[in-house]
Amino acid sequence: MEKRRVVITGLGGVSPIGNTLESILESIRTSKSGIDIIENFNIEDFQVKLAGEVKNLDFENYIDRKSLRRMDRVGIFGLIAGIKSVKDSGLDFNQVDKDRAGIYISSGIGGLGTIESQKIKGMENGYEKVSPFFIPMVIVNLVGSQLASHFGLHGSCLCPVTACAGSNSAIGEGYRSIKDGYNDIILAGGAEASITPLGIGGFSSMKALSKEEDKERASIPFDKERSGFVMGEGAGVLVLEELEHAKNRNAKIYGEIIGYGSTCDAGHITQPNSEGIYAAKAMENAISEGGIEKSKIDYINAHGTSTPLNDKFETIAIKKVFEENYEKILVSSTKSMTGHLLGASGAIEAIITLISMKNEIIPPNINYRIKDEECDLNIVKNKYREGKINYALSNSLGFGGHNVSLLFKRWED
């Protein structure tokens, strides 16, 4: 059977740099950072003071009050991002086959805030007094199933959990599902809401987070002074659609997915492979599936977490793939603006990549000051550039050795 083509027809995001496509695009154009002092909880006794929190989002504009009381913040973010993506796509699910429309939504951690609050309630009142909605509020798959229920979709409803590569895994597997003929529409992406005392404390104790208090020097991917990542939160959902299905309803198209690579280091539980072998293989597999020459790649939205080892090893991987031509490819990590959204990071970065392709700009790696000789990529420093991106890779790497790379192609109307 001839493989089918998969396009992106809708985008919805909830992020530290904006909750609409227009505000996210404006943040890219103005090099706006969403990183600030943590407001979600009292940080007096914490060394980590900064995070990328979602702000200026009225939940009740999207979800009724009764339902909100039964949802964790992660589910709220995911549902709102999904609602936004469907609205943006112009889809009317009453006009399509709901048995061939599905959901692939990831989360790295799930309802961590609810776990913390209900633990306290259990200690104080007894564990049989915790909320009867406790389990549905915290399990990771419920983010996607709530979205399926909202729209009444009966196709595949899956939750790939690959840590910080989660939403790229969801997008990639959704792409394959449509390409191979199992579904016509997939809402794909991820959600995360782990800016909590336990979330910050856990990542801080493993020395993964930056303790920098200067907002402009905290999330600084590929900069020589980087000292750890900054936690972000939010959600991103993409509407993936079979090309002819999209054309038949005159849908607008942001771009096309033409390749997906997924590999595993099968090594250290947190540290990436030091030679970048399998991160490189994920990129190579995506390019191979896309059927293009490596020289066609214009831009890479890097995983670029701002940790000393990740950025160094990702640089090695990129150089391994592109060899002597690596300096021709523009690279940025938009985590410099958003922080690291863990399982939602790939989805927000895919959205940023696609709207940048559509608007003929290359997103910046902000707050970059000091060159690291071990990260000698062609970094888009501090300000966006004007330019056409015909082919872009978006990389995500996750604890456990997960490596995922997506290949996007510019859509010409």
Convert the pLDDT of each residue in 231-266 to its tens digit: 999 999 999 999 999 999 999 999 999 999 999 999
Task: Give the Cα separation of 317 and 311 in Å (integer).
Answer: 10
Q: What is the pLDDT of residues 152-205, one digit of tens each?
A: 999 999 999 999 999 999 999 999 999 999 999 999 999 999 999 999 999 999
Q: Is the pLDDT of residue 3 over 90?
A: no
Q: Is the pLDDT of residue 16 over 70?
A: yes
Place of tokens 């394959």: 176
Q: For domain 261-399, is the CATH number 3.40.50.12780?
A: no
Contact 347, 406 (CB under 8 A): no
Among 270, 275, 272, 303, smallest CA distance to 404 is for: 303
| Residue spans in the chain of domains classed CATH 3.40.47.10 | 6-248, 261-399
CA distances for 302 relative to 254, 308, 315, 334, angstroms: 20, 14, 9, 8
Task: Give the Cα separation of 391 and 287 in Å (integer).
Answer: 10
What does the pLDDT read at residue 317?
97
Over range 113-135, report the average pLDDT.
95
What does the pLDDT read at residue 199?
97
**What are 55's two structure tokens?**
């702000």
Place of tokens 């190579």: 284
SS (H, E, C) 222-243: CECCCCCECEECEEEEEEEEEH
**Residues annotated as part of the active site:** 164, 303, 340
Task: Provide the pLDDT confidence category of residue 227 given band limits of 50, 70 and 90.
Answer: very high
What does the pLDDT read at residue 269?
82
DSSP output for 106-154? E-SS-SHHHHHHHHHHHHHH-GGGS-TTHHHHH-TTHHHHHHHHHHT--
**What are 197's two structure tokens?**
């005392």
The DSSP 8-state label assigned to residue 207 in this structure reads: T
Among 153, 193, 150, 186, smallest CA distance to 169 is for: 186
Residues ≥6 apart with Cβ < 8 Å to 276: 313, 314, 315, 316, 317, 318, 319, 320
For the structural domain made of 6-248, what CATH number should be given?
A: 3.40.47.10
Q: Is the pLDDT of residue 386 over 70?
A: yes
Phi, psi values for residue 258, rounded to 5°: -120, -5
Task: Give the Cα separation of 61 and 51 in Å (integer).
Answer: 25
Over range 48-66, report the average pLDDT.
97
What does the pLDDT read at residue 44?
94
What does the pLDDT read at residue 412?
86
Over range 267-288, report the average pLDDT.
91
Place of tokens 């940025």: 332
Among 277, 282, 393, smallest CA distance to 332 is for: 393
Mean pLDDT of the chain: 96
What does the pLDDT read at residue 1?
58
Alpha-carbon torsion (399, 400, 403, 404), positive or negative: negative
**What are 273's two structure tokens?**
């492979």
Over range 272-297, report the average pLDDT.
95
What does the pLDDT read at residue 336?
98
Q: Is the pLDDT of residue 379 over 70?
A: yes
Contacts 24+ apart (CB under 8 A), 97-100: 97/184, 98/151, 98/152, 98/153, 98/154, 98/155, 99/154, 99/155, 100/155, 100/183, 100/184, 100/185
Residues ≥6 apart with Cβ < 8 Å to 354: 8, 11, 238, 254, 255, 408
Task: Give the Cα separation of 231 and 394 in Å (integer).
Answer: 19
SS3 190: strand
